Chains A and B, each alone.
Chain A
Amino acid sequence: MSEGPRGHLVFACGGSLYAVPAERASEVVNLPSLTRVPGAAPHLLGVFAHRGEVLPVIDLTRLIGKPADEAFRRVVVVRVGRGVMAFTATKVIGVSAIEGAPPRLGESGALAFMHGPARVPSGDCATIDPEGLLEFLARGR
């Protein structure tokens, strides 16, 4: 049984396109200076205060083991039941409808919470399962 089309916010980071369910993307903000977190994994660039809460910034390129790309200027703030996180973005494309659920990009690690390729007007993208990825990161990965 296939799912109907679902709105996703599509953004670019490190030469790749990613998408998060639109209802989970709460806002896009310019990247401020970050506070480093002791003992954090390399993909956790730091945190910043925004509207009275602390937002952790995740570099998606480092998270999936690609070479770091420091060209990002913005972050996409993603909110799920258990918390909030912000993904680095070089460019925010917009909202596109994505139909169905493409296969996982990997069996383990962060790629197990990304699916693709999903076709959007600007190219192929990886859709992120934000609930699963947050749970994975919260386990200290």
Chain B
Amino acid sequence: MKPIDGIALCRVGEARLAFPCDEIDAIAAVGPDALGAALAFGDVGSPEGKALAHGHRLLQVDSVDVLATTALAVLPVPAVIARAAGGALAGFVLLAGDLWPIVSVGGLLDFLESRRSGP
């Protein structure tokens, strides 16, 4: 298990997503160009929320809580879901009994863009 430092814990509807803080340039207001993380779950998503800036791209989530923590133990991704979301899954963390998927911001944005543009 590889340790990580600092993650953004995000809610997307009923789902949870965790993003490494070192991939987030800023937390911004939602703009028209933001891609909704809810699409990764086949959901439409809320019109409000926050946007995670990654370079010039924005990823929309419902809420963000930054966990500026010391090293967290990361559980590996099972083989059968290694290619989910285009391979953007980096592992899982267990926090207060809840399992959070750790996802690459850039990888998830790539996946959402590919899904939006079709095969």
Interface on A for B, CB 8 Å cutoff?
Answer: 35-41, 44, 47-49, 52-56, 58, 82-85, 134, 137-140
Q: Which 8 A-B pairs have the closest CB atoms?
A: A39-B85, A140-B83, A38-B40, A83-B79, A137-B80, A35-B99, A36-B15, A138-B79
Q: How far is the CB of B42 from chain A (nearest CB, A)?
A: 8
Asked whether A38 and B78 contact (CB < 8 A) given A47-B99, A49-B99, A139-B83, the answer is no
- Our count of residue pairs bridging A and B at CB distance below 8 angstroms stands at 86
Interface on B for A, CB 8 Å cutoff?
Answer: 14-17, 37, 40-41, 75-86, 88-89, 92, 94, 98-101, 103, 108, 111
Asked whether A55 and B86 contact (CB < 8 A) given A36-B14, A39-B40, the answer is no
Q: Is the CB of A38 within 8 A of B17?
A: yes
A55 to B80, CA, bound (A): 10
Chain A residues, CB < 8 A from B85: 37-40
8 contacts between A and B (CB under 8 A): A36-B15, A37-B84, A39-B108, A40-B81, A40-B85, A82-B79, A134-B79, A138-B83
A40 to B77, CA, bound (A): 13
Q: Is the CB of A44 within 8 A of B98?
A: no
A38 to B105, CA, bound (A): 12
Q: Is the CB of A47 within 8 A of B88?
A: no
Asked whether A38 and B41 contact (CB < 8 A) given A54-B78, A54-B99, A58-B80, the answer is yes
Question: Which of A38, A41, A49, A58 is the one whose CB lies under 8 Å from B94?
Answer: A49
Counting chain A CB atoms within 10 Å of each CB, which of B75, B80, B84 scores highest? B80
Q: How far is the CB of B82 from chain A (nearest CB, A)?
A: 6
14 new A-B contacts at CB < 8 Å, known A39-B88, A44-B84, A49-B99? A36-B14, A36-B16, A36-B41, A37-B89, A38-B111, A44-B80, A47-B81, A52-B75, A56-B81, A82-B79, A85-B78, A138-B80, A138-B82, A138-B83
| CB-CB nearest in chain B for A138 | B79
Asked whether A84 and B78 contact (CB < 8 A) given A35-B101, A40-B84, A54-B92, the answer is yes
Asked whether A38 and B100 contact (CB < 8 A) given A47-B78, A83-B79, A83-B80, the answer is no
A54 to B81, CA, bound (A): 11
Chain A residues, CB < 8 A from B89: 37-38
Asked whether A38 and B84 contact (CB < 8 A) given A54-B77, A85-B78, the answer is yes
Chain B residues, CB < 8 A from A49: 75, 92, 94, 99
Chain B residues, CB < 8 A from A140: 83-84
